[in-house]
Amino acid sequence: MKAMPGRIRIIGGNLRNSRLNVPDLPGLRPTSERVRETLFNWLAPTIAGVRALDLCAGTGALGIEALSRGAAAVQFVEPERAAAEALRGNLARLKAEGADVVAVDAMHFLHGAPRPFGLAFLDPPFALQLWTPLAQQLEQGGWLADAAQIYVESPRGQSLALPPNWVSHREGHAGDVRYALYRRSQSVPLS
Protein backbone atom coordinates (compact mmCIF):
# COMPACT_ATOMS: atom_id res chain seq x y z
CA MET A 1 0.00 0.00 0.00
CA LYS A 2 1.42 3.36 -0.93
CA ALA A 3 0.30 6.93 -1.01
CA MET A 4 -0.07 8.39 -4.48
CA PRO A 5 2.34 11.12 -5.60
CA GLY A 6 1.12 14.61 -4.86
CA ARG A 7 0.79 15.19 -1.12
CA ILE A 8 1.02 13.04 1.96
CA ARG A 9 0.25 13.89 5.58
CA ILE A 10 2.32 13.76 8.76
CA ILE A 11 0.11 11.89 11.20
CA GLY A 12 1.48 12.68 14.67
CA GLY A 13 3.52 14.99 16.85
CA ASN A 14 4.05 18.74 16.58
CA LEU A 15 3.86 18.65 12.74
CA ARG A 16 0.64 16.62 12.76
CA ASN A 17 -1.56 17.18 9.70
CA SER A 18 1.23 18.99 7.85
CA ARG A 19 1.30 18.06 4.18
CA LEU A 20 4.42 17.01 2.30
CA ASN A 21 4.74 17.75 -1.39
CA VAL A 22 5.66 14.55 -3.22
CA PRO A 23 7.31 14.73 -6.64
CA ASP A 24 6.05 12.38 -9.34
CA LEU A 25 9.17 10.23 -9.78
CA PRO A 26 9.48 6.62 -10.96
CA GLY A 27 9.87 4.18 -8.08
CA LEU A 28 9.02 6.72 -5.36
CA ARG A 29 6.84 4.81 -2.91
CA PRO A 30 5.93 6.79 0.24
CA THR A 31 5.19 4.66 3.30
CA SER A 32 1.44 4.66 3.87
CA GLU A 33 -0.19 6.54 6.74
CA ARG A 34 -1.44 3.29 8.23
CA VAL A 35 2.04 1.76 8.31
CA ARG A 36 3.61 4.96 9.69
CA GLU A 37 0.98 5.13 12.41
CA THR A 38 1.69 1.54 13.48
CA LEU A 39 5.46 2.01 13.34
CA PHE A 40 5.44 5.17 15.42
CA ASN A 41 3.12 3.61 17.98
CA TRP A 42 5.81 0.93 18.36
CA LEU A 43 8.52 3.59 18.62
CA ALA A 44 6.61 5.93 20.97
CA PRO A 45 8.49 4.93 24.17
CA THR A 46 11.92 5.44 22.58
CA ILE A 47 11.63 8.19 19.93
CA ALA A 48 12.27 11.25 22.12
CA GLY A 49 15.81 12.53 21.73
CA VAL A 50 16.96 9.80 19.33
CA ARG A 51 19.31 10.48 16.41
CA ALA A 52 17.81 8.85 13.31
CA LEU A 53 19.05 7.92 9.84
CA ASP A 54 16.50 7.93 7.01
CA LEU A 55 18.45 5.95 4.42
CA CYS A 56 16.88 5.97 0.93
CA ALA A 57 14.65 8.74 2.26
CA GLY A 58 12.47 9.35 -0.80
CA THR A 59 9.79 11.76 0.47
CA GLY A 60 11.38 11.78 3.93
CA ALA A 61 8.01 10.93 5.49
CA LEU A 62 9.57 8.50 7.99
CA GLY A 63 12.27 10.91 9.12
CA ILE A 64 9.92 13.91 9.26
CA GLU A 65 7.46 11.84 11.28
CA ALA A 66 10.34 11.04 13.68
CA LEU A 67 11.24 14.75 13.99
CA SER A 68 7.59 15.59 14.56
CA ARG A 69 7.46 13.10 17.43
CA GLY A 70 10.58 14.27 19.23
CA ALA A 71 13.66 12.82 17.54
CA ALA A 72 16.65 15.08 18.24
CA ALA A 73 18.02 14.90 14.69
CA VAL A 74 17.48 13.08 11.41
CA GLN A 75 20.03 12.52 8.65
CA PHE A 76 18.21 12.09 5.33
CA VAL A 77 20.01 10.31 2.48
CA GLU A 78 18.40 10.48 -0.96
CA PRO A 79 20.30 10.12 -4.27
CA GLU A 80 17.53 11.37 -6.58
CA ARG A 81 18.16 15.12 -6.85
CA ALA A 82 14.50 16.04 -7.46
CA ALA A 83 13.39 14.04 -4.42
CA ALA A 84 16.17 15.54 -2.28
CA GLU A 85 15.19 19.07 -3.37
CA ALA A 86 11.51 18.38 -2.62
CA LEU A 87 12.53 17.05 0.80
CA ARG A 88 14.63 20.16 1.51
CA GLY A 89 11.68 22.32 0.45
CA ASN A 90 9.29 20.45 2.74
CA LEU A 91 11.69 20.69 5.70
CA ALA A 92 12.19 24.44 5.15
CA ARG A 93 8.45 25.08 4.81
CA LEU A 94 7.77 23.12 8.01
CA LYS A 95 10.68 24.86 9.81
CA ALA A 96 11.82 21.38 10.91
CA GLU A 97 14.93 21.64 13.07
CA GLY A 98 17.57 18.94 13.39
CA ALA A 99 17.31 17.80 9.77
CA ASP A 100 20.15 17.37 7.28
CA VAL A 101 19.67 16.16 3.68
CA VAL A 102 22.47 14.74 1.56
CA ALA A 103 21.85 13.91 -2.09
CA VAL A 104 24.07 10.84 -2.46
CA ASP A 105 23.66 7.13 -3.02
CA ALA A 106 23.03 5.25 0.26
CA MET A 107 26.00 2.90 -0.16
CA HIS A 108 28.30 5.82 -0.96
CA PHE A 109 27.08 7.59 2.18
CA LEU A 110 27.69 4.46 4.29
CA HIS A 111 31.30 4.31 3.10
CA GLY A 112 31.91 7.68 4.76
CA ALA A 113 32.90 8.36 8.37
CA PRO A 114 30.32 6.64 10.61
CA ARG A 115 28.21 8.37 13.24
CA PRO A 116 26.14 5.92 15.32
CA PHE A 117 22.37 6.35 15.12
CA GLY A 118 19.81 5.04 17.61
CA LEU A 119 17.19 4.55 14.88
CA ALA A 120 17.59 3.71 11.20
CA PHE A 121 14.94 3.51 8.49
CA LEU A 122 15.84 1.02 5.75
CA ASP A 123 13.28 1.32 2.95
CA PRO A 124 15.16 1.20 -0.37
CA PRO A 125 13.43 1.15 -3.76
CA PHE A 126 12.08 -2.39 -4.00
CA ALA A 127 13.36 -2.95 -7.55
CA LEU A 128 16.99 -2.36 -6.50
CA GLN A 129 17.17 -5.23 -3.97
CA LEU A 130 19.48 -3.29 -1.63
CA TRP A 131 18.38 -4.65 1.77
CA THR A 132 21.29 -7.05 2.32
CA PRO A 133 24.22 -4.83 1.27
CA LEU A 134 22.83 -1.77 3.07
CA ALA A 135 22.03 -3.75 6.23
CA GLN A 136 25.52 -5.27 6.25
CA GLN A 137 27.16 -1.88 5.82
CA LEU A 138 24.97 -0.33 8.54
CA GLU A 139 25.99 -3.10 10.93
CA GLN A 140 29.66 -3.49 10.03
CA GLY A 141 30.38 0.17 9.31
CA GLY A 142 29.69 1.51 12.79
CA TRP A 143 26.47 3.32 11.87
CA LEU A 144 24.27 1.83 14.61
CA ALA A 145 24.31 2.56 18.34
CA ASP A 146 24.56 -0.42 20.66
CA ALA A 147 20.80 -0.86 21.15
CA ALA A 148 19.66 0.75 17.89
CA GLN A 149 16.28 0.03 16.37
CA ILE A 150 16.07 -0.61 12.64
CA TYR A 151 12.88 -0.31 10.61
CA VAL A 152 12.83 -2.39 7.41
CA GLU A 153 10.17 -2.16 4.70
CA SER A 154 10.14 -4.77 1.92
CA PRO A 155 7.79 -6.65 -0.41
CA ARG A 156 5.64 -9.18 1.39
CA GLY A 157 7.16 -12.64 0.91
CA GLN A 158 10.65 -11.27 0.12
CA SER A 159 13.39 -13.23 1.89
CA LEU A 160 15.89 -10.85 3.50
CA ALA A 161 19.41 -11.68 4.67
CA LEU A 162 19.80 -9.28 7.60
CA PRO A 163 22.57 -9.30 10.21
CA PRO A 164 21.97 -12.10 12.72
CA ASN A 165 22.14 -9.74 15.69
CA TRP A 166 19.13 -7.77 14.41
CA VAL A 167 16.40 -9.28 16.55
CA SER A 168 12.85 -9.06 15.24
CA HIS A 169 10.76 -6.98 17.63
CA ARG A 170 7.50 -6.41 15.75
CA GLU A 171 6.21 -6.80 12.21
CA GLY A 172 3.11 -6.39 10.13
CA HIS A 173 1.75 -6.43 6.59
CA ALA A 174 -0.19 -3.92 4.55
CA GLY A 175 -1.17 -5.13 1.11
CA ASP A 176 1.99 -6.31 -0.64
CA VAL A 177 4.30 -4.64 1.91
CA ARG A 178 5.98 -6.20 4.93
CA TYR A 179 7.19 -3.81 7.59
CA ALA A 180 9.29 -4.82 10.58
CA LEU A 181 11.10 -3.28 13.51
CA TYR A 182 14.35 -4.88 14.65
CA ARG A 183 16.43 -4.28 17.75
CA ARG A 184 20.18 -4.51 17.51
CA SER A 185 21.72 -6.91 20.01
CA GLN A 186 25.38 -7.02 20.96
CA SER A 187 25.32 -10.81 20.65
CA VAL A 188 24.01 -13.14 18.00
CA PRO A 189 20.89 -14.94 19.28
CA LEU A 190 21.09 -18.73 19.48
CA SER A 191 18.85 -20.52 17.02
Q: Is the pLDDT of residue 2 over 50?
A: no
Q: Residue 139: enclosing H or E segment and its boundaries?
A: helix 131-140
Domain boundaries along the sequence of the chain: 33-184
Question: For the segment 76-110, what is each residue's pLDDT rounded down to a tens digit?
Answer: 999 999 999 999 999 999 999 999 999 999 999 99
| Mean residue pLDDT across the chain | 91
Compute the distance between CA of residue 186 and CA of residue 173 in angstroms, rounded to an integer.
28
Q: Is the pLDDT of residue 190 over 60?
A: no
Question: For the segment 53-82, what is each residue's pLDDT rounded down to a tens digit?
Answer: 999 999 999 999 999 999 999 999 999 999
Let me know if domain 33-184 sits in CATH 3.40.50.150: yes
Q: Is the pLDDT of residue 4 over 50?
A: no
pLDDT at 167: 96
The Cα-based distances of 25 to 59, 129, 131, 140, 180 in angstroms read 10, 18, 21, 32, 25
